[in-house]
Structures are given as structure tokens and as C-alpha cells.
Amino acid sequence: MTDVQEAVAAERRDLADLLAGLPDEDWDSPSLCNGWRVREVVAHLTMPFRYSIARFLLGMVRARGDFHKMADRAARQDAEKLTADELVAVLRANAHHPWKPPGGGLVGALSHDVIHGLDITVALGLDRRVPLDRLQLVLDGIKPKNVRFFGADLQDVVLRADDLDWSLGSGQQELSGSAQDLLLVLCGRKLPPGRVSGAPSSRFTTA
């Protein structure tokens, strides 16, 4: 797992460097996460490093066991309390933090960081390319339960990356694009026009 640990640390350091260079107005720009600005996404990214188990469980009790509600509430509250500099500092200081999502392992931690990093960079129109070795680790870890969790409508669609030897699904329609853009499709994100191509592309892009 050493390679995955190093990939996680490298991704967090790269994101911290990128975020540190963002102009102030970008922190309040919308991300690909519905209803979240860049600021809320980074607050969510750093939540595992800032919350004790007790604080997390209390949040879950207040949200009546609904993780999505708890995570949304925490991201919004923390985004108001913490400055951009503070959030970047937390991310940078925890490059080697051992947090793993339940049932996801280290690959799940890498996926979490890569996906939310793309939620920021793609929404801002930044030409940041996640290293292909990291993307390969994330895509190789995709399981049917992950697709179901995000609720992406992939019926009758084959996803095929044009920069990695990777495909997923079966059907009559093929959607092609970069591995990182197809990862966002898997996660149910709506992409800006022109990032993927194929007959069903309009299902996965904004108007």
C-alpha cells in the first residue's frame, strides 16, 4: 500500500499548492458539487482531519443518521468559520493523515481527494491534469456499489477513456473523454460542454 499512501500525500500537497494560489473570488465560486462553493468543498475535504470521532458522531445524531445531511451542514458551517488560508494549511499539514472512508481503504481516501479536487478545478476552468497513475488507482477501485452510491445514469452506456486503457459498462452508446472527466461522470457530476463526446454526451453535460 506504500504506492497508494504516497499517491494520497502527493495529491493533497498538489491540491494545497493549487488552492493557495487561487484569487479570493474563486473561493466563493460554484463547484461541481451541487450547492457548494469551492470553500465548502475544501471544508469537506479537510473534515476528516479536523473532526474527532465524538464530534463526528454528534453531528450524525443531530442529522438523525443521515450522512449527507451531516456532511452538508458541517461543510457550510466550517466554511463560514475558517479562512481560506486556514483550510489550505489543514490540507497541507495532513498530507500523510491515515484517514480512510468506511469500507474504502486508502484507495477510497485517494478517490475522495481526487474527485473533490476535480469538483473545484473543472468548475473553475483550470487545466489541472491529475497524474494518470493516480487516476488508474482510483478507476481500478471502482465497484458497482460506488456507481449506485452516486446515482449516475449509465444505462446502455460504455465509458471509454482516451488517455488510459480503461472502460466501464456495456451498451449501444459510447461516451469517451479523459479518464478524469469520465470519473466525474461516474460520480453523477454535470460537466461543462465539450469535455466528453459520444451519442449520450448531453446527458452528462450542462446546457
Q: How far is CA 87 from the centre of its chain?
A: 16
pLDDT at residue number 1: 61
- Is the pTM here over 0.85, yes or no? yes
The predicted model gives 21-28 an average pLDDT of 97
Which architecture does CATH list for 142-207?
Answer: 2-Layer Sandwich (3.30)
Reported as a single tens digit per residue, the pLDDT across 81-128 is 999 999 999 999 999 999 999 888 999 999 999 999 999 999 999 999
Least confident residue range of 12-16, 147-151, 195-199: 147-151
pLDDT at residue number 13: 98
Residue 146 and residue 164: Cα distance in Å, rounded?
A: 20
Mean pLDDT across the chain: 93
The predicted model gives 177-203 an average pLDDT of 92
Least confident residue range of 36-40, 128-132, 147-151, 199-203: 147-151
pLDDT at residue number 144: 75
Find out whether 90 and 49 touch, Cβ atoms under 8 Å. yes
Reported as a single tens digit per residue, the pLDDT across 41-92 is 999 999 999 999 999 999 999 999 999 999 999 999 999 999 999 999 999 9
For every residue of 32-78, DSSP letters joined together read SSTT-BHHHHHHHHHHHHH--HHHHHHHHHHTTT-HHHHHHHHHHHH
What is the bridge-based pairing of β-strands 157-161 and 196-197? unpaired
pLDDT at residue number 75: 97
Confidence of residue 16 (pLDDT cuts 50, 70, 90): very high
Using DSSP's 3-state secondary structure scheme, residue 167 falls into: strand
The domains of the chain are located at: 1-141, 142-207
The residue with cell 481516501 is: 109
